[in-house]
Amino acid sequence: MTLAYHCLHEGERPKECVHCGRCLAACPLFSATNLEELAPRAKFQLARALESGAGGLSAGQVTELASRCLSCGRCEKACPEGLCAPDLIARLRSASPGWQALVWKNWIGRAGLLWPAGGMLAKLVPQALEKALTRVLPAPLDERAGLALHALRAMRAKSPVRPWLRVRRFDPCGKGTKAVLFAGCTAEHARPEWTRTAERLLRGAEYDLAPAPDFGCCGCTLGHAGCKAEQRAAQERNLAAWRAAGRPLLATFCATCRCGLRSYASVDLGWEPFEAEAWMKAVQPLSSLIGETEFSVIEEAAPARVHYHRPCHGAGGGQDEDLLRRMAGQRIGRASRDVCCGLGGVLQVAAPELGARVAADAWNFFAALPGEQVLTGCSGCVLQLASTRPEGVDVGHWLDAVARN
Ligand code: SF4
Ligand code: SF4
């Protein structure tokens, strides 16, 4: 098997792990388990052994290695060599025949069928779903099937966060600017109310909001899963839809979607001159688009304290956190910076028990009490934190807290 185990971008010198160990503290999987074999350094060493043929890794070991990563990207930020475990893992996944990407491709790529159906199934006939999961998850099954079921139920359930913020005055900062919303898979299939609230905020800020063009999945999770052809098809579809809509402002409210969309600019998608730059300018977080819009707190519905979870991907300049602080004022409790929710795409399918251990670390950080809330700006983080939350603590997107009228 040929692998580019070092993350190479065009024109760069080959990079290799220098065993400095800086990635260890950054890796949420290592922090939660203390298992060196799950750390980024071990992944690069194993991949090198695999490439040189000296490691003698079996197909099963390769699959194991490829499945044990959250693709959070925290190691790349810590590594002095700029080594990128998510890229390495994605290559491993795409090079491994029979890899569980097939499962994930079905989960994400056919989300319209699988997410609501899976959630409904989990709610109504857990035994049937458990049986289905036993066919796709490796042993031991009991704990894994239970955790995956729990995550599916969290997708299906209505958000427990009742609106406790009301717009007092809109800032007409968008006056006449043409905009479209990129809602993403979770909002489209499991949380349509996020889209309705986002549309209301954009219209209130006087954007000329056009109906959403023919967007599909951003492709980010497909890429991490090693489904490169499907990721490319998703990118081409979204770019074509944006062009057909007249290249408007592209508002996003999921940090992972935003990260995935912005990554298009570094891919050769047949950009016209200056078009990639225009794309980067167009893709903006919703929280940065409503200017000085003012909110008031609905006291009888507001939680005692609200914590903010910063997603690993696409948190940008912290616009969601800034907006939440402005909206919630004194109610803001803890705000995470270096805490991963543990969702991790493929890991959620292949080894959800590891994701649950990472989530436990996140909950230790928040130390949230019953009656408090954790809000974030990433669809995946909402689902993962909702399925692992302590009793009495509600989890949602910040849009859940905003009343739609
Ligand atoms: S991407 Fe995240 S989970 Fe994977 S090796 Fe890097 S820090 Fe660890
Ligand atoms: S930080 Fe980079 S160079 Fe250092 S041990 Fe980790 S992967 Fe290797």
- pLDDT tens digits, residue range 385-396? 988 899 999 999
- pLDDT of the residue at 86: 85
Q: What is the pLDDT of residue 346?
A: 64
- Cβ 358 under 6 angstroms from ligand 1: no
Contact criterion met (CB below 8 Å) for 161 and 399: no
- Mean residue pLDDT of the chain comes to 82
- On the question of pLDDT at 131 being above 70, the answer is no
Per-residue pLDDT at 338: 85
The bound ligand whose nearest atom lies closest to the alpha carbon of 48 is: 2
Minimum mean pLDDT range among 121-130, 142-151, 189-198, 319-328 = 121-130
Helices 85-95 and 40-52: angle between axes, nearest 10 degrees: 40
Cβ contact 282:247 at 8 Å: yes
Residue type, 108: I
Neighbours of 276 (CB within 10 A): 17
Q: Which ligand is nearest to the CA of 71?
A: 1
State the pLDDT at residue 117: 41
pLDDT tens profile 342-360: 886 667 666 778 888 999 9
Question: Where does the pLDDT of residue 140 fall: very low under 50, low under 70, confident under 90, or very high at 90 and above?
Answer: very low
Assign residue 90 a region: left if phi > 0, alpha if psi is -120 to 50, beta otherwise?
alpha
Task: Identify the residue with better confidence: 305 or 90.
Answer: 305
* Largest separation between any pair of C-alpha atoms in the chain: 66
Query: 31 alpha carbon to ligand 2 midpoint, in Å?
Result: 15
pLDDT for the residue numbered 254 = 94
Helix (H, G, I), strand (E, B) or coil at 295: strand
Query: How many whole angstroms from 51 Cα to the centroid of ligand 1?
Result: 20
Calculate how far, in angstroms, residue 226's C-alpha sits from the geometric centre of ligand 2. 22
Q: Is the pLDDT of residue 132 over 60?
A: no
pLDDT above 50 (res 6): no
pLDDT digits (tens, 9 = 90+) for 53-86: 655 566 666 667 777 888 888 999 899 988 988 8
Integer CA distances (angstroms), 381 to 72, 155, 350, 397, in order? 11, 11, 18, 9
Give residue 41 CA to ligand 1 midpoint distance, Å.
10
Pick the closest to residue 275 from 246, 253, 298 (CA basis). Answer: 246
pLDDT above 80: residue 251: yes
> Which ligand 1 atom sits nearest the alpha carbon of residue 26?
7
- Are the beta carbons of 137 and 349 closer than 8 angstroms? yes
Which residues does ligand 2 sit against, CB inside 6 Å? 17-23, 40-41, 44, 78-79, 81, 83
Q: Whose C-alpha lies nearest to ligand 2, atom 6?
A: 23
In a 3-state reduction of DSSP, which class is residue 300?
Answer: coil
Taking the CA atoms of 236, 152, 402 and 314 in sequence, report the sign of the dihedral they define.
Answer: negative
| Burial grade of 283 (CB within 10 A; 0-12, 13-18, 19 or more) | buried
Ligand 1 atom at minimal distance to the Cα of residue 69: 4
The pLDDT of residue 158 is: 73
Give yes or no for a cis peptide into 40 (omega within 30° of 0).
no
For residue 29, the CA-to-ligand 2 centroid distance in Å is 15
Q: What is the mean pLDDT of residues 23-41?
A: 91
373 strand-pairing partners: 306, 394
Regarding the beta carbon of 399 and ligand 1, being less than 6 Å apart is answered no
Of all protein residues, whose CA lies closest to atom 8 belonging to ligand 1? 27
Q: Which helix (H) or strand (E) holds 306?
A: strand 306-309
Any atom of ligand 1 within 6 Å of the Cβ of 86? yes
Q: Which atom of ligand 2 is nearest to the CA of 82?
A: 2
- At the topology level of CATH, where does 294-401 sit? Rossmann fold (3.40.50)
Task: Answer yes or no: is pLDDT of 105 > 70.
Answer: no
Beta-carbon contacts of 5 under 8 Å, excluding residues fewer than 6 positions away, are 44, 47, 48, 50, 51, 88, 91
Query: How far is ligand 1, taken at its centre, from the CA of residue 23, in Å?
Result: 8
CA-CA distances (angstroms) from residue 104 to 67, 304, 311?
A: 11, 38, 21
- The tokens for 300 are 């009888």
82: left (phi over 0), alpha (psi -120 to 50) or beta: left
**27 CB near ligand 1 (under 6 Å):** yes
Is the minimum distance from the CB of 75 to ligand 1 under 6 angstroms? yes
How buried is residue 368: exposed, middle or buried, by Cβ count under 10 Å (0-12/13-18/19+)?
A: buried
Query: What pLDDT does residue 93 have?
Result: 73
Q: What pLDDT is attached to residue 56? A: 58
Segment 86-113 shows an average pLDDT of 62
Cα 40 to middle of ligand 2, angstroms? 7
Angstrom distance (rounded) from CA 262 to CA 109:
20
Distance of CA 130 to the CA centre of its chain: 25
Integer Cα distance of 318 and 338 in angstroms: 13
Q: Is any ligand 1 atom within 6 A of the Cβ of residue 32?
A: no
Of 7, 15, 19, the one to substitute when testing ligand 2's pocket (max ligand atoms within 8 A of C-beta) is 19
Looking at beta carbons, which pairs linking 347-350 to residues 24 or more positions away fall under 8 Å? 347/67, 347/68, 347/69, 347/70, 347/71, 348/148, 348/151, 348/384, 349/100, 349/103, 349/104, 349/107, 349/136, 349/137, 349/148, 350/67, 350/68, 350/100, 350/137, 350/138
**Residue 71 confidence (pLDDT):** 85
Residue nearest to atom 4 of ligand 1 (CA): 69
* Ligand 1 center from residue 86 Cα (angstroms): 7
pLDDT given for residue 59 in this prediction: 67
pTM for the full predicted model: 0.83
Q: How far is the CA of 53 from the centre of ligand 1 (A)?
A: 24
Query: Closest residue (by CA) to atom 4 of ligand 2?
Result: 20
Amino acid at 336: S
Q: Which atom of ligand 1 is nearest to the CA of 29?
A: 3
Q: Which DSSP state fits 299? A: T
Q: Does the pLDDT value for residue 362 go beyond 90?
A: yes
Nearest CA to ligand 2 atom 3: 17
The model's pLDDT over 147-170, given as tens digits with 9 standing for 90+, comes to 555 555 555 567 789 999 999 999
Mean pLDDT of 1-17: 53
Under the banding of pLDDT at 50, 70 and 90, the label for residue 45 is confident
